[in-house]
Amino acid sequence: MLEVGCGPGFFTIPAARIVGDEGHVYAIDIHPRAVQRVIKKAEKEALPNITATCVNASDTGLPDGSVDLAFVFGLRHVAGGLENLITELHRVLEPGGILSFEKTKGPEEGLIEEVKRKGFAYTEKQGRIYVFEKEGE
């Protein structure tokens, strides 16, 4: 599982509990202080299944097809641009992997079309969360 723009770990910690010993959460952010907060929280909660890294989401450094779920919640600005982010998420997701995206601004149709152009199928909307599945391969 990959959390893009993890901030202080609001979603990271619950996600790590959900996936348990069988899963792993990669939490990334461009702000070093945010990443340090996640690391401290993970240590305090004794959650060894979290890897928090200070990287740009457009270049995660993760291997191709290495995650089954990526989520982008609460991210108001995408460093490197939305198009580059979606390209990178397509690369790191396994075939059939899920991308959950919280829409924060702009027209709904624009977001859906941009993500679809990058090789995802739009599957559903739950409140402000748009869910896509990686196509192909």
CATH number of the domain bearing residue 46: 3.40.50.150
- Same domain membership, residue 94 and residue 47: no
Query: In degrees, to the nearest 5, what angle opens at C-alpha 1 toward C-alphas 102 and 79?
Result: 50
What pLDDT shows up at residue 79? 55
What does the pLDDT look like over 101-126, one tens digit per residue?
887 677 777 889 989 999 999 999 99
Q: Considering its fold, how many domains does the chain have in total?
A: 2
Find the domain containing 122 and state its range: 78-137
What pLDDT shows up at residue 111? 83
Q: Does residue 28 lie in a domain region?
A: yes
Q: What is the mean pLDDT of residues 89-106?
A: 90
Q: For the beta carbon of residue 77, count every other beta carbon within 10 angstroms.
A: 10
Q: Does residue 16 lie in a domain region?
A: yes
- Same domain membership, residue 85 and residue 50: no
Q: Does residue 1 lie in a domain region?
A: yes
Q: Does residue 118 lie in a domain region?
A: yes
pTM: 0.91
The span from the CA of 1 to the CA of 15, in Å, is 8
The end-to-end CA distance of the chain, in Å, is 19
- Same domain membership, residue 82 and residue 35: no
